[in-house]
Structure 1
Amino acid sequence: MKNKALIKVFAITVFILLAILPLGLNAQNPIIQTNYTADPAPMVHNGTVYLYTSHDEDKTVRNFFTMNDWRCYSSTDMVNWTDHGAILSYKVFEWSRGDAWAGQCIYRNGKFYYYLPVNQKNGENAIGVAVSDSPTGPFKDAIGKPLLSGYGYIDPTVFIDDNSQAYLYWGNPNLWHVKLNEDMISYNQEPGIVKEDLKDENFGYRAKKIDNRTASYEEGPWLFKRNSKYYLLYPAGGVPEHLAYSSSTSATGPWVYGDTIMHVIKEGGAFTNHPGYIEFKGKSYLFYHNAALPDGSGFKRSVCIEPFTFNADGSIPLITPTKEGVKESAGNLNPFVRVEAETFAWEEGIETAKDEETGVYVTDINNGEYIKVRSVDFGKGAKKFEASVASALQGGKIEIRIDEKNGSLLGTLEVKNTDGDQIWKTLSCKVNKVKGVHDLFFVFKGGEGNLFNFDWWKLK
């Protein structure tokens, strides 16, 4: 997200809010500040949460969704997110002409299958399947053609039941599903594509009819199972959308309408929303999107998270969107191993970039900007800070502080010209000893313009 003037205005606003709100120091939403992200699709794999998102471009074309690729972020603590950059674009599907909308990735038999909606070159909606050996790619077209195509064939959600049967739901404004075969790239021809009978008792009521029905379901389904109950979350009610859910004793219904789980977001909301759900380390999390970043809009959205607790009867409570988001981390960050600089909970002003040799790194660093890393476990203390940096011009400084942006100064790393913004050098400085768990701030200081690039860091 490149409008740095707006970011600075946003930062000033946040600073004022922090001064008047006691919980402001724990601000976490939106969880990604370097890009406009939407349609969150979280996946838990081997103790890590991988968050797949669509990506709203900074520049909107024809005042409509301008989306060309999908991005991935990961976390082991639900507060610090590592940016893996764009992991594929619509161009991976040679038969596609664009519109990289809401998808979902799932793991099976050593592969990661990513179900993605695009528009075909002939203009029809379609759902493709991309496959990879790694959750962060590279992905390739699994079958060389659409898995499904038809009007309104968007927003797929994928789920594998306890008996190993996989299901795919999708659709706007109608809802369809198929049983996927074990290969995950074809579907059972019997019964084939099933169109849901959208009735009010199944999916709630809306006052304005659509397709000659009043059921509230709109788009963006998210299917999961908890205990013995199946849940289908979805945006509902038309524009502006709220989030609702239905439940069943079967992955194929019949569905019984539950209730609204998030009202239309009036302050900082987009006219769309999109749910995602995971259970991670014994806690439940709802993912959604709003438009709360600087210059945000219905076409420039931002992903957020709210932890919640199911009611005793298994129903989902009404969840209020907050700026605080996840207040308690699901684990502490170990600073004594290499930590990617693009791993953080909050930032002001910086950007991330990606190339084949270095991967993702922090760039566009200006004087006064900062990165916040939450819940860092200093253990019994460290003596030295190490970082990989590159600078083509003046360089600058990294002030290492704890607990807040202007908190106790542990040390200062002097970053000098390395003869190129891709000429990486590992530099170090002494740090004052501090024990226990703290939030860690990297505050960047220097002259005018881009100071340096920042790839990774660690304590010793």
Structure 2
Amino acid sequence: MASALRRAGLVIVALLCTATLVTGPARADNPIIQTIYTADPAPLVHNGRVYLYTGHDEDGSTYFTMKEWRVWSSADMVNWTDHGSPMSVSTFAWASADAWAGQTVERNGKFYWYVPVKDRASGQMAIGVGVSTSPTGPFTDAIGRPLVRNGEIDPTVFIDDNGQAYLYWGNPNLWYVRLNADMISYSGSPTQIPLTTAGFGTRTGNASRPTLYEEGPWVFKRNGLYYNVFAARCCSEFIAYSTAPGPTGPWTYRGTVMPTQGGSFTNHAGIVDFNGGSYFFYHNGALPGGGGFTRSVAVEKFTYNADGTIPTITMTTAGAPQVGTLNPYVRQEAETIAWESGVETERAGEGGMNVGWIENGDYIKVKGVAFGSGATSFTARVASASSGGRIELRLDGANGQVVGTCTVPGTGGWQTWTTVTCPVSGATGTHDLYFRYAGGSGYLFNVNWWQFNGG
């Protein structure tokens, strides 16, 4: 459960948003996760969805206090489903702390999650590998020991067109190894990439670190050109990049991707192409209570320049545009959220996740819901250890048109589930859908999933 400080901050967000929602739909969708603080985004496209792997900054942290990693996914770049935490420091019996920035890749039906953690035996930072047959986990320790260990962090993995995979990592240096086809072993020894000013830009005022390279490499290939996007110059960091004709260089510095901005003194990039568009993920400190140790992941859509260079990208509150619409006539998880105020998520006793800690006035926004010719009823899976409350179905704002109200009874427990249905009228066309929760004091009820009928 979030700290009182964080909940107070989100109430402020709710009040600010409500002031604008009275007259029209909200435009702000960044940061894309509001239920917890997230950092170090690593996107992966798989089977028509973008899976987003992040770290989790603990509430009120005054250091990089991170105990677990989280997974989210989206088919439209705006409505993100929370899949919880399928891997944590405790996944690695040999690790003691620091669930820091990693990346997941898929190969031969398995998903490999490369992460830096502190090795208990040596006290050094090391790179571990989690493995799963599902992009949402659960992940297990693939080898029972560090894959590599030299005290440095921030792994990124790239599989070239010829099948050769590379693991890169490093702060203050930059290293790589050639991974074997099993993705959990490597050939040769770790090789240090020369950090030259021609390759990684010039840093002034720091004789021990003459280049801009700081940490957080993200390596990928596009149209035969290799890109290394990285966090540059601490502190505060900006995002820069270099390119090369091959996966190991020689690298040429190309300039700034995202200038220093936002409320966090670190940044971390992840770039993917999805459904014909290119997307840049990063983190900032934009949520209430946010800062350098309480960060939040955001995303922007961008277009490469004709010569393959990356344009300068600026943080926005609008975020990426929606790809398509959301179908309300199939079961949707309650933890699929474009924006929220006040709620949190947790593991559901029925499996998956549910939305909980709902109080009077809290809401969830789901963007771009295609009702078509019109919904006739609404069904939700709910549970309540209190006397329950109401789900108000509103269009285009937390104070928007009410098209239905579902009463949630007390069920005798927060994981004692029942299904409720209520009539719907006036939900036609495409709208942003708001679930506004109402009732007495204290926590009202939990929601596992929902679905409209008709249309």
Identity of aligned residues (%): 55
Report the counterpart of residue 9 of structure 1 in structure 2. Answer: 12
Report the counterpart of residue 445 of structure 2 in structure 1. Answer: 452
- Whole-angstrom distance in 2 between the partners of 1:80 and 1:366: 22
Report the counterpart of residue 146 of structure 1 in structure 2. Answer: 146
Report the counterpart of residue 317 of structure 1 in structure 2. Answer: 311
Which of 193, 196, 218 aligns to 2:193? It is 196
Stretches of structure 2 lacking an aligned partner (at least 5 in a row): none
Letter in 2 for 1:224: F
Does the aligned pair in 1 maintain the 2:379–2:452 contact within 8 Å? yes
Q: What is the aligned residue count?
A: 449
Q: Is 1:249 the counterpart of 2:249 in the alignment?
A: no
Report the counterpart of residue 35 of structure 1 in structure 2. Answer: 36
Letter in 2 for 1:161: D
- Structure 1 position 302, deviation (Å): 0.2
- Whole-angstrom distance in 2 between the partners of 1:6 and 1:86: 24
What CA deviation, in whole Å up to 9, does each residue of 1:434-455 have, x standing for no partner? 3221111101011111000010
* Structure 1 residues 420 and 282: alpha-carbon distance in aligned structure 2, compared to 1, 3 A threshold: same
SS at match of 1:10: helix
Report the counterpart of residue 95 of structure 1 in structure 2. Answer: 94
SS at match of 2:375: coil
- Whole-angstrom distance in 1 between the partners of 2:71 and 2:45: 13
Does the aligned pair in 1 maintain the 2:21–2:398 contact within 8 Å? no
SS at match of 1:207: coil
What CA deviation, in whole Å up to 9, does each residue of 1:387-410 have, x standing for no partner? 000011111100101111222111
* Structure 1 residues 345 and 158: alpha-carbon distance in aligned structure 2, compared to 1, 3 A threshold: same
1:320-359 maps to which residues of 2 (within 5 A)? 320-326=314-320, 328-355=321-348, 357-359=350-352
1:354-393 maps to which residues of 2 (within 5 A)? 354-355=347-348, 357-393=350-386
Letter in 1 for 2:449: W
What CA deviation, in whole Å up to 9, does each residue of 1:72-127 have, x standing for no partner? 00000000000011111011111100100000000001100000100011211100
SS at match of 1:397: strand
- Structure 1 position 430, deviation (Å): 0.3
Does the aligned pair in 1 maintain the 2:30–2:298 contact within 8 Å? yes
- Whole-angstrom distance in 1 between the partners of 2:22 and 2:198: 47
Letter in 2 for 1:45: H
Report the counterpart of residue 179 of structure 1 in structure 2. Answer: 178
What CA deviation, in whole Å up to 9, does each residue of 1:240-285 have, x standing for no partner? 00000001111111011011111111xx420100000010001001
Greater RCO between the two (CA within 8 Å, min separation 6)?
A: 2
- Structure 1 position 226, deviation (Å): 1.0
- Whole-angstrom distance in 2 between the partners of 1:258 and 1:18: 42
Report the counterpart of residue 260 of structure 1 in structure 2. Answer: 256
- Structure 1 position 294, deviation (Å): 1.1
SS at match of 1:347: strand
SS at match of 1:11: helix
- Structure 1 position 356, deviation (Å): 5.3
- Whole-angstrom distance in 2 between the partners of 1:210 and 1:183: 40
Report the counterpart of residue 294 of structure 1 in structure 2. Answer: 288
SS at match of 1:202: helix
What CA deviation, in whole Å up to 9, does each residue of 1:353-380 have, x standing for no partner? 1145432100000111100000111122
- Structure 1 position 173, deviation (Å): 1.2
- Structure 1 position 14, deviation (Å): 4.1
Instruction: Provide the aligned C-alpha RMSD in A.
Output: 1.5
- Structure 1 position 19, deviation (Å): 8.4
1:415-434 maps to which residues of 2 (within 5 A)? 415-434=408-427
1:116-135 maps to which residues of 2 (within 5 A)? 116-121=115-120, 122-135=122-135
Letter in 2 for 1:188: S
- Whole-angstrom distance in 2 between the partners of 1:140 and 1:418: 35
- Whole-angstrom distance in 2 between the partners of 1:226 and 1:377: 34
Which of 199, 202, 210 aligns to 1:205? It is 202
- Whole-angstrom distance in 1 between the partners of 2:317 and 2:20: 10
Compute the TM-score of the two structures, normalised by the length of structure 2.
0.96
* Structure 1 residues 416 and 130: alpha-carbon distance in aligned structure 2, compared to 1, 3 A threshold: same
* Structure 1 residues 441 and 314: alpha-carbon distance in aligned structure 2, compared to 1, 3 A threshold: same
Report the counterpart of residue 281 of structure 1 in structure 2. Answer: 275
